Every structure is written in C-alpha cells, then in structure tokens.
Amino acid sequence: MRCRPSLHSYMRRLAYLAAGGMLWSFSALAFANAPLGSVIENFLMPSLAGGSQSLLSDSNVSVFIFIKPGQEHSNQAMAQIAACEKEMTGKPVHWCAIVSDRIPKAEVEADVKAAGLAMPVLIDQGDTLYGKLGVILHPVIGITDKDRRLVAYQPFAKVNFHAFVQAQIRHALKEITDEELAELLKPTAATLGGDASVAHRYFRLAEKQFQSTNYSQALLNINKSLEKNFTAEAAALRSRIIAAQGGKIEVVVPAEAVGQGAEAGVKSVAPVGVIEKPSNSK
Amino acid sequence: MIRLTKKKMMASPSAKSGFVGQQENGPTRFRIFLPAVLFFMAGICWSAAAESKKAEVSPVPKMRKNDLTPLSDAVKPISAHSPYQDGDCSLCHQNKDRSNPGPIVKQVNAVCLDCHDDFAKVMARKSSHVPAKVNCVSCHNPHNSMQPKLLVEESETLCLSCHTAISNLVANAQVKHDALNVDHKCVNCHNPHAANVEHLLTRLPYDLCVGCHGKDGVTDHDGKVLTNIKKLLAENPHQHGPVQDKDCSACHTPHGGNNFRLLTKEYPAQFYSPYDPKLYALCFDCHEESMVKDPKTTTLTKFRNGDQNLHYVHVNKDERGRTCRACHEVHASQQVHQIRDAVPYGRNGYMLKVNFTQTATGGTCAQTCHVTRSYTNSPVPVQVKTDALPPKSP
C-alpha cells in the first residue's frame, strides 16, 4: 500500500528543490565541449616528471586543473590549489595539473616548484585536450566523480577561490550536502551590528550589574535592551531586578503584541522602554 | 578622581607599552602583573598571527598601539562605553574606584567577550581580522571616543594606518572609486571583525557592487552615468564567466587604479586598434593569447572556418584590428558568446546590427560589417596525440 506523503516530506522535497535550484545557478558554467554531467574520456598523457600518467581516476574523485605558468592568475591559482592539495592529503582524490607543450619545460618546473604543487603535471601536446574539452581559459578546474562524470567546473576567482574549490571537492566526495555546498558557494552576508546585537550587550551588562547588586544601573540597561529588542529572557531579568529592589514583579509584554496574539490575562503593565522607578529604588 | 593627562600617561611605563588608561601610581602588584599580561598577550598575538598566516598571508603583521586614556571630562564624547559611563569600572578592572581602577581582570578580549559574547560566533567566521581576534583595543577605546563605535580614530584613517599598501594605491590612483569615500567608507564592503568571504568582504563581490551599481543614475568619479548592471544582467541572459561567478574583481580593482573603468589591466577602449598583446593584458589574464596569435588552429577557438582562425583574422592586424569590444559585450548580451546585438558606426554612433546567427557547426554574420559570411568549425579532423585509455568496464 502506498502511503500518502506527509507535510514534512513535502517540505523536505521543497527544500531539496530549492537547494537544487541554488546549485543549478552556480553550475551554468562548464567547458565548451563538456557540459556538467557529461562523462569525460580518460587519457594517458606525458608527465613533466617523465613517463605518462592518466588524466582521471576510474575509481576516485579526480581534480584536474589547466594552468599556464607565467600567467598571474595561474600562479595565484597554483598556490591556492597546492594548499588545498595539502589540506586534503589522505582523501581519495586523484589530482593533476595540465600545461600546454608550448610553454618551456624549465618555466613550468620553476613555477610549479614555487607554488608547491605536489600533483603530477601532464603535458597537453598540441593543446589537444584543451581543444577536445573546449577549455577557452586559464586557469580552470574540472572535477569528476568516480564514474568520470564532470560534477564541477571552477574557473579562477579573485575572491574565495580556495574555498570554492575545496567545497566542490568535498561535495564530490559526499562529505558535504547540497545545502552546505550552496552555503559555501554563496556565503551568508556578514553584516555588522543590528538591534538584536546591541540589545544583547545591554542585557549582558545589566546581568553583570544585577549580580554586583548595582540594581539601578541594571534596570536602566535592561530597559535599553528591551527597547532595542524584546526577549523573554530580558523581560525576566527586568522582573528580577525590580523584585530585588523590592518592587512589584511585572509581566511585561511588548506594547505592539497586546491584542495581536498575546495571551488573555497577560497585561502590559508598562510599555517597554518606560522606566518605572519603584518607590524603594536604590 | 585622578585623571591623567596625556603627558603623564605617555611618561608612564604602561603608556610606553601601549597599555594606558591606568593610574600612574598604581599598586605594586599591577607593575608585576603588567609584564605578565604583556608576555601573555604577545604569545597570543604570535599564535593567532601564525594561525592566520596558514589561512591567508596577513598584509599587516604588526598590531597598533593606541592611547586608551579616557577623554577629559570637559569634552563631550561621540561614543562612550556603557560600563565606563555608568562608573562601573570593576566590570573590567580589579577595582570599582574610578580614581584607582587597577589592572583589567582578564586578557583584553576575554574581558570584552564577557558582555560582547555574540562576537565569539562572529569571530568564528572563515576570514577574521587578526587585530579583532587578538586585541579589540587595536581599534576601540574601551572608555570613550570622539569617533562613533568607540573607534580610536576616524574609520578610514584607522584602517589605512596599518593597510599602507592600500593607502598608497588609493592616494596614487588615477581612476578613483567613490565607494571608498561615501557612507561607511571601508566598511561599505568590509567587515572589520570577520566575514564569510575572503578579504573580510561582507558579501561576494557582485553582491556588494550591485549595492550601488544596481541602481539607475549612478555616476563615476568624473560624473559619467554608469550602467545599471543589475538591470543589464536581468535583460541579457548570456553573461561573461566572471559575471556569472559574481567575481567583479576579476576585471575591476575596487580601491582605484590607472586604467579606465577601474580595470585591473589594459584593455582597448576603442573599436579599432593595431594588434599589440599588451593592450589585451586584461583579457589574456584568463584567455589564451594564442587564440588571436595563431593564424591556424583546430583547438584554440571555435570561431574558425576549418582551421582558419577567425579571431586572428579580425583582431591581429597592424592597423585597423577589431578589438574584443567590436564583437563582444563585456558583461552580458542577448546572444551566445556575449556577441553584441549591434555595433556603433560613424560619428553619430548609429547602431549597426551584427546579425550573428549560431549554427550547429559554426555561425553566420549577415551583411553588416562585411558581406554575409559563414564559418564551420566541427568537421576538421583532430590529430589526437594523447593515448585514449580503454573505456571503464561497467
């Protein structure tokens, strides 16, 4: 018997769709001749160190980076990829860099050494692989899964390149979810301050002043906190301060909440922000 | 109440060490305590700096040392720290006595985080500002200040006092970016404590840039009206890679520069230009120079007729070479490869239609700049020099 999906399951599907949508918006770019999801042909290519190496792994996630030693962005990318490679040591990732055979070997070796790249550097003779995939720019990274399916394409970025590459590799390794990848590719804005933040500081100050029995200052500061942002925690502290001063314990409800869902019987004794000075206040 | 003058403060050992704001004739234990605190702080600074170096090379290795003396009572501060204002010295110092507060009870940032505990979460972000991580008083005066947010100096001056390379760049730039001088200045784009994006950017570059460049009527430093990029992108689906990647800084330098439109490197401003690779330094930062240098290719570009490289044909001329902008829009267009819909022609800027059509094997440009011509790029046999591995067994 087929069960009717619950509301929770609908919500979950919607969340997956939304996350999928977010990922799609980041995955529009790809190699001209190899869209995301396509299977990349594997090749044995001559290596800078001698002999030949395969471009991709048939059993692990592969990361291949087209670089152009001497080019500013490539040199910056190589340094960041080298750091990435080091941080991910021990993970089942097949790494390689690809350079055109147009660039003199000594120049490639010097730049690779300076960047600290440990991965094999493969020589693309006659820019064959470059043309086959339709690369069109340097530096650029392709990531394939264990089935050699292209799962990520990441051109160089001046900002957050290292974070983007690492996130894409971790996603290919299934270490992070689609939602986590989306967050790393489009990080949450780091805004400054805000009323809630200021209110919290007044709350903490009032709490400390309450502990040191400086009730009058504590009351002033908790009122400032409540003015900025009403929280039950702050309201409770305000009641404790007033009680400590020997005043009447109040239930404080924000003025705008009265008549808008506030429970019956709970009355706004004093609008938030108005300082009630108990008769025996210190 | 004992109020120390600046002269007195600077003469005191604590002032020399950067820890000022204490009573000059403090208790002996303070004199013993201070070196210990300094030693401890130096250790923290060193370890935090080393930790930060792992993630990103810090451009500013040294910490600022500020005069943290409270302002004279005769001066009305712009901002004041609530505990100081309330006379509650013992929240941070050993004594409640304002005339003899004694040393602070813990390491500086630990004291701050006692109340500002929400900053623990902020500082856990991926990219953090080393001074904020190790010493809040690098930028803030814990008593009061003639600046907002208890800053020890005007915000831009404060930032540039350490970030001297940026300061020089800003001062010497031929092309200025007004964003540096309006509203919150540096803080328009950077979070001075910590952020989830490198360089303490509050958002990815594009999301920051469209804050201003996503509006109509924005002008540059010289008063020229700039494109509403947000609108442009909404109307034009085929976008340049860095635009899709939200990386405006791939081509533009936000602090100022010497190329028009704050471009990071040279790019021809005109429709025609003799071919000189130096003029295309911006494009060749990502795109392969041989794409316009090699007369024949089967791999470097799809804009070829057989093996005849049509980028070379258009661009690589001694006199009237067509620059990238002759055929491509730099941000976005209605057509694939950011091909322009029309190009300006004549003195009056008449817009001449390009009439480009993409086909399965290449494309066609109908009569505009030249008679209708088509190209085909797929049937040329490629000499494969790599050895294909056998397909993976299922």
pLDDT tens per residue across span A81-137: 999 999 999 999 999 999 999 999 999 999 999 999 999 999 999 999 999 999 988
**Percent of chain A whose pLDDT exceeds 90:** 70
Q: Whole-number mean pLDDT of chain B? A: 81
Q: Which of A41, A137, A219, A220 to mutate to test the interface with B (most CBs of B within 10 A)?
A: A137
CA distance A37 to A23: 13
Give A-chain residues touching B82 at CB under 8 angstroms: 201-202, 205, 221
Could you give the ipTM of this predicted complex?
A: 0.75
Q: What does the pLDDT read at residue A145?
A: 96
Confidence of residue A252 (pLDDT cuts 50, 70, 90): low
Q: What does the pLDDT read at residue B299?
A: 87
Q: What does the pLDDT read at residue B147?
A: 95
Q: What is the mean pLDDT of residues A42-54?
A: 95
Kindly report the nearest CA distance between residue A2 and chain B, in angstroms: 33
pLDDT 10s digits, B251-271: 999 999 999 999 999 998 888
Q: Shortest CB distance from B299 goes to which of A127, A163, A192?
A: A127
Least confident stretch, A142-146, A159-163, B29-33, B183-187? B29-33
pLDDT above 60 (res A151): yes
Confidence of residue A242 (pLDDT cuts 50, 70, 90): very high
CB interface of A with B, residues 214-233, below 8 Å: 214, 217, 220-221
Q: What is the mean pLDDT of residues B216-236?
A: 91
Q: Whole-number mean pLDDT of chain A? A: 83
Q: What does the pLDDT read at residue A132?
A: 92
Q: What is the mean pLDDT of residues B176-202?
A: 93
Q: What does the pLDDT read at residue A282?
A: 38
Kindly report the nearest CA distance between residue A161 and chain B, in angstroms: 9
Give A-chain residues touching B297 at CB under 8 angstroms: 131
pTM for this prediction: 0.77
Q: What does the pLDDT read at residue A8?
A: 56
Q: What is the mean pLDDT of residues B94-105?
A: 90
| B382/A128 Cβ within 8 A | yes
Give B-chain residues touching A130 at CB under 8 angstroms: 288, 299-300
pLDDT above 80 (res B143): yes
CB interface of B with A, residues 264-303, below 8 Å: 284-288, 290-291, 297-302
| B82/A202 Cβ within 8 A | yes
pLDDT above 70 (res A198): yes
pLDDT 10s digits, A14-35: 444 444 444 434 445 789 899 9
Q: What does the pLDDT read at residue A23?
A: 41
- Chain B CB within 8 Å of residue A44 CB: yes
pLDDT 10s digits, B361-371: 899 998 878 89
pLDDT 10s digits, B53-81: 443 444 555 677 888 989 998 999 999 99
- Chain B CB within 8 Å of residue A86 CB: no
Give A-chain residues touching B125 at CB under 8 angstroms: 190
